Amino acid sequence: MPRRTSNEIWNRAAAQSYDSPGEGMFDEQVLDRTTARLQELADGGPALEFAVGTGRVAIPLQRRGVSVSGIEWSPDMVDRLREKVDEATLPVTLGDMSTTRVDGAGEFGLVYLVYNTIANLLTQEAQIECFRNAARHLRPGGRFVIELWVPRPQSTHGAVAAEVFTVEDGYLGVDVMDPVTQQLVSHHVRFDDDGTATVGFSPHRYVWPSELDLMARLAGLELETRHADWEGTPFSHDSRGHVSVYRKP
């Protein structure tokens, strides 16, 4: 299967359909918990969101009084964000979150990367550079926050390891994993009322928590806390996700 690029995935159609107010990751309670914790971690300083997208987190965080800037790869996602706030209110720089620098680099109290987005970088090298780019933007004592799912070991029997991750009315989600390369392709199957289906694909590179910790060390960052969610639930062996906070000495 040909690998789709980020521009092909995060195009105008995806940007226009991305927001789902009040549902899932756009649920107000989810956003309240997320932005409350990020406001605390910013510690009065400005914040930078890697892969700011349509402003799902950045805009409500800004409403809490935090000065927020963003980096985003997709011009179409930024166009959708601009329907909500202008450049003066929430400045965004187009570019790759692993290499792009913004004004104020070295002065941010917080850099954050939420909702599994570091997995959109498809090589270990790019993910390491993302950590290094975060460190370049942080002031001493600043924090880099990552929200990510915890990979589940898959059976090694057969040629392909696959897992159904979501079953809902009109939607089926299946992940196909390659444990050698840590590549994962999410298959999104959506069913219309007449029974027809459309299938979309999104590639990722999954990362173990311990691997993230090593990437942080390579970037000069230290693990400060890790919880299972934004509410501070203790992280354990059965946690399905984590919120990890790294600090620049």
148-178 pLDDT tens trace: 999 876 655 555 577 887 888 888 888 888 8
Tokens of 125: 């090298």
Tokens of 222: 């230290």
Stretch (H or E) spanning 38: helix 28-42
Q: How far apart are CA 140 and CA 137, in angstroms?
A: 10
96-126 pLDDT tens trace: 999 999 999 999 999 999 999 999 999 999 9
Instruction: Report the amino acid identity of residue 114.
Output: V
pLDDT at position 25 is 60
Please state whether beta strands 222-227 and 197-205 pair in parallel, antiparallel, or not at all (unpaired): unpaired
Per-residue pLDDT averaged across 179-188, rounded?
84
58-93 pLDDT tens trace: 999 999 999 999 999 999 999 999 999 999 999 999
Per-residue pLDDT averaged across 24-41, rounded?
86
Q: What percent of the chain has pLDDT over 90?
A: 65
Q: How far apart are CA 82 and CA 55, in angstroms?
A: 9
- Find where tokens 């924090």 sit: 143
Which residue segments constitute the domains of the chain, with CATH numbers given? 6-151+207-247 (3.40.50.150), 161-202 (no CATH)
47 near 111, Cβ under 8 Å?
yes
230 near 243, Cβ under 8 Å?
yes
